[in-house]
Structure 1
Amino acid sequence: MPKGQQSQRDKGAAPVRKRLSPAARRAEIVQAAVDLFAETGFDGSTREVARRAGITQPLLYRYFPDKQSLIEAAYSRVFLETWDPAWDALLQDRSRPVVDRFQSFYEAYTEIVFQPVWLRLWYYALLRDAQVHAWYREVVQEQILKPMVRERRAELGQGDAFAVTVDELDVPWLLHGGLLNHGLRQLAGQAGNRGDSPDRPAVIRKALNLFLQQSAPDAG
């Protein structure tokens, strides 16, 4: 290495910033935010996000005018962009019994969400960020739980045209939240590795059996 370059490195000179398109730069910033928030919760600073992205804080604010917009982008990356549109068709495929559809869906869904970053962000949102958790709850209710209720009604011959009530969502929420807590327990028990286990399909099957029992006409 030339002597001048070695001298600059010894003095702690900042690395040359990578030339990126605006879209690629924005994606790098969002990924840095996701990684930080998964470690610290949503209290992580925009200064630290900028440092991890290899840019200045003023440049970060050219892409995200405030921290809330950065949190929204991180939320979208983790909780929305991981949704597979094929799951919508799977949940509503009435050529299959609901138990088979729901089993296949939750096996595919947990394969994606039982990841350290996803589970940690969900946990931090649950504990310390009511807004992010409210966004997540709304998505889950509309994309997963309400379709499950309607499809179960249809299988029982009850029709599916009327609105899903708050009471009808109680048991699906127990199913969904219980599975996420299972993933979180697995993650905690594996010292930060993937929150998965060989018995995941069996756990899903047990949870679904409880849901189906509770939603049967003579339940309760």
Structure 2
Amino acid sequence: MPTHKRTQSSDAPAPPRRRMSPEDRKEAIVSAAVELFAENGFDGSTRDLARGAGITQPLLYRYFPSKESLIEAVYASVFLKSWDPAWDDILKDRDLSVRDRFQRFYSAYTETIFQPVWMRLWHFASLRDAEVYGWYREVVQEQILKPLVRERRIELGHNPGFAVSPAELEAPWLLHGGLLNYGLRQQVTGQADRDARDSMIRQALEMYMLFTAAQTPETGPTKDPR
């Protein structure tokens, strides 16, 4: 006599939802905030955020007492955690020329940040949220641009001891900002190309090297003229 395989009734109760730990819940809220802010900018409401995270607004405020505290968590998650400590070793490796060091660094750095969520959040921050952009700007100056200026001084035989002035940072910012805008264009057009990106990095670095080689400690922008 044929037997029939028993199937689960559609009326059977759904398995109980796993209770999230406070750490997992907080991480889920930050992930939902990243998605919302990347889509709508930092003007997105906490009501929409709570809905996206599948929680109530009061529960959201238990983990993040203000929208500002949530924005800080998003900034840390997207901008700070994207930094690889191994990059510090690349930038300090004086067995390589400054050009080669920063070529390796920017090749790895852009591989990490040329992603839709990162680029959209950076774009929104630069346009609408001066505080978030200020945080990002400070990190870039301290971890990338000032080391570039100091290491190039050493390579050129200039005195590396004096502080990096705002005027000296203008050319590195043109280099860095130009690469970010190149990445944004790649995202918009959907024409991401690793070889083309590496070529663009080489061109940007070459322009900086030529510019600094033409400077001297006496005529170069060692002091802020403003």
TM over 0.5, shorter chain = yes
1:188 CA displacement? 0.5
Instruction: Report matched runs for 1:26-175 at 5 Å.
Output: 26-175=26-175
* 1:138-191 deviation per Cα after TM superposition (whole angstroms, max 9, x unaligned): 00000100000000001011132211000000000000000000000010111x
Amino acid aligned to 1:179: L
Amino acid aligned to 1:81: K
Counterpart among 175, 200, 203 of residue 203 in structure 1 = 200
CA distance in 1 between partners of 2:22 and 2:160 (Å): 46
Amino acid aligned to 1:213: L
CA distance in 2 between partners of 1:16 and 1:180 (Å): 46
**Greater Rg, structure 1 or structure 2?**
2
Amino acid aligned to 1:172: P
TM-score normalised to structure 2 length: 0.87
* 1:105-153 deviation per Cα after TM superposition (whole angstroms, max 9, x unaligned): 0000000000000000000001110110011100000010000000000
CA distance in 1 between partners of 2:193 and 2:60 (Å): 35
> Conserved in 2, the CA contact under 8 Å of 1:171 and 1:211?
yes
My pick for the range that moved more, 197-206 or 65-74, is 197-206
1:213 CA displacement? 1.0
My pick for the range that moved more, 169-178 or 53-62, is 53-62
Amino acid aligned to 1:128: R
Amino acid aligned to 2:43: D
> Conserved in 2, the CA contact under 8 Å of 1:32 and 1:49?
yes
1:213 aligns with 210
Amino acid aligned to 1:206: Q
CA distance in 2 between partners of 1:208 and 1:100 (Å): 9
Aligned pair count reads: 209
Give the gaps of 5 or more residues in structure 2.
1-8, 221-226
* 1:68-116 deviation per Cα after TM superposition (whole angstroms, max 9, x unaligned): 0001100111100000111111111111100100000000000000000
SS in 2 for 1:199: helix
> Conserved in 2, the CA contact under 8 Å of 1:122 and 1:133?
yes
1:3 CA displacement? 3.8
1:11 aligns with none
Q: Percent identity?
A: 62
CA distance in 2 between partners of 1:16 and 1:186 (Å): 44
Work out whether 1:176 is the aligned partner of 2:176. Answer: yes
> Conserved in 2, the CA contact under 8 Å of 1:90 and 1:101?
yes
CA distance in 2 between partners of 1:70 and 1:196 (Å): 34
1:196 CA displacement? 5.1
1:217 CA displacement? 3.9
CA distance in 1 between partners of 2:125 and 2:164 (Å): 25
Amino acid aligned to 2:105: F
Give the gaps of 5 or more residues in structure 1.
7-14
CA distance in 2 between partners of 1:127 and 1:74 (Å): 17
